[in-house]
Structure 1
Amino acid sequence: MISSSQGDICEVRCVHPEAVQKARQALPDAGCVEQASAFLKLVGDPTRLRLLSALNTGEMCVCDLSAAVGISESAVSHQLRLLRTGRVVTFRKEGRVAYYRLLDHHVTTLIDNALEHARE
């Protein structure tokens, strides 16, 4: 018998085969786990999350993002480059101005859910 003063672990060792089998069947493949983990690390950075939150309101250029988030345009560009490479944001050019936006609804939903969870 294993004892714990904190009560956060089982006091007896037992395995529930049905639960284990169900969980194993639901596990994504290793490549998917790696990609999802890299994505979560990318959006989990506080500066990038602030930029993504700003972009969640709509398309913005680097200058606007810099003013909204309160960091230099150079820092914004660096972070956007990482987010673009990670397929989190995309951009379009209009003349000499690049307008950035969230890549798709998955990113929007993730940002909304993460922030809603943090507010609860």
Structure 2
Amino acid sequence: MTAGAGGFEDPPAEVLAEAAAAFGLLASSARLHIMWALAQGESDVTHLADRLGGALPAVSQHLSKLKLAGLVGSRREGRRQIYFVDDPDVVTVVRLMVGQLAARAEEASPPVRGLRGAGA
């Protein structure tokens, strides 16, 4: 491995490919929303579908892909499957990215003016 800018070693090609695949999965707004919701706390597929406003089969399919990639885990609780993000680093990345973009959107939106200043 060679040192890149800042003195950090370049990761192996396999690691970069795996990271790209994980980011590729998160390129779907539905899957990113699922990750955001699970970063707030564990949930079953029914509650996730309600929260996202999505169809149960679609949310279930997204969860399967995220689980297969190792981004979410699950455990059985009675008849329900409970999903969670157990890697704090993944939670940090999702929260940072979404939080950063939300802050930018808030800065870019024009300020809301009250009615009192409108000659009333």
Unpaired segments ≥5 residues, structure 2: 105-120
Residue by residue, what CA displacement relative to the aligned partner does 1:26-82 show, whole Å, maximum 9, x if unpaired? 321111110111011111211100111111110100000000000011001100000
Count of residues in Structure 1 that have an aligned counterpart in Structure 2: 101
| TM-score, normalising length: structure 2 | 0.78
Q: Cα offset for 1:22?
A: 3.9
Q: Cα offset for 1:106?
A: 1.2
Q: Indicate the residue corresponding to 1:96 in structure 2.
A: 79
Matched, 1:63 2:74: no
Q: Cα offset for 1:21?
A: 5.9
Q: Indicate the residue corresponding to 1:7 in structure 2.
A: none
Contact 1:87 1:103 in 2 (8 A): no
* Helix, strand or coil at the partner of 1:56: helix
Q: Indicate the residue corresponding to 2:99 in structure 1.
A: 116
Segments of 4+ moved more than 4 angstroms: none
* Helix, strand or coil at the partner of 1:100: strand
**Change in 2 beyond 3 A, CA 1:92/1:29:** same
For residue 19 of structure 2, what is the amino acid of its counterpart? A
**Change in 2 beyond 3 A, CA 1:64/1:25:** closer
Q: Which segment is superposed worse, 24-33 or 44-53?
A: 24-33
| TM-score, normalising length: structure 1 | 0.78
| Percent of residue pairs identical | 29
Matched, 1:83 2:66: yes
Across the aligned residues of Structure 1 and Structure 2, the Cα RMSD in angstroms comes to 1.8
